[in-house]
Amino acid sequence: MENKEKQGMPLLGDKFPEMKVQTTRGMMTLPNDMAGKWFVLFSHPADFTPVCTTEFVAFQKLYPEFKKLNTELIGMSVDQVFSHIKWEEWIQENIGVEIQFPIIADTGAVATKLGIVHPGKGTNTVRAVFIVDDKGTIRIIFYYPQELGRNMKEILRAVEAMQFSDNNKCAMPADWPNNDLVGSNVIIPPATDVDTANERKAKAKAGEMECYDWWFCHRKI
């Protein structure tokens, strides 16, 4: 049977779809040009709009923190590159912030491939966020409506938490690193057999492991 290219919106665990895009920093081929780096591709409804302007300023202010995590930022909307450039100039002249990351100028092809035009929310792109790892795999997807600006610190936290999880083979609690139950500790993957469960019970009882129960153990890193 002949293999057909996968259609539809990308899902968690999928490879980021290959595409050649025009950006404010020149042509880019994704995800190849980001090989060895994580990247956050985020869409916005349109240039020269108030909420989007607040988002771009917030992303730029955190850009150095993303770069510390070997992570690049890439914006996009269905606007011409000339519009992106003029908007960048406006932000620098009126707010004093220089946007240093690329913005994709989409004709609609990228938005269609990524599934970020939702008819129930109008004809512009929604505020989507794709967090892609250094192997080109989509790890997190967020969708926000046009009315709600994103929390960039949460997006930064999500990148840091996923990298920490990968490097330490653990799961991350809610609000990490400030969880109400385990503080900055991370979650040990649950036991999947009776012997391991009994071993954890014994270690917890002896004070050798921090557990609420055999299926809920945590540790410092």
Residues annotated as catalytic are 52
Which residue type sits at 21?
Answer: V
Distances (CA, A) of 208 to 88, 190, 201, 211: 55, 17, 10, 10
Give the C-alpha separation, 102 to 84, whole Å: 10
Contact 130, 31 (CB under 8 A): no
Contact 122, 130 (CB under 8 A): no
Nearest to 27 by CA among 83, 136, 105, 84: 105
Give the C-alpha separation, 126 to 118, whole Å: 7
State the Rg of the chain over Cα: 21
Give the C-alpha separation, 111 to 174, whole Å: 31
Distances (CA, A) of 199 to 192, 203, 214: 12, 6, 8
Residues near 151 by Cβ (< 8 Å), separated by ≥ 6? none
Cα angle 111, 25, 55; round to 5: 60
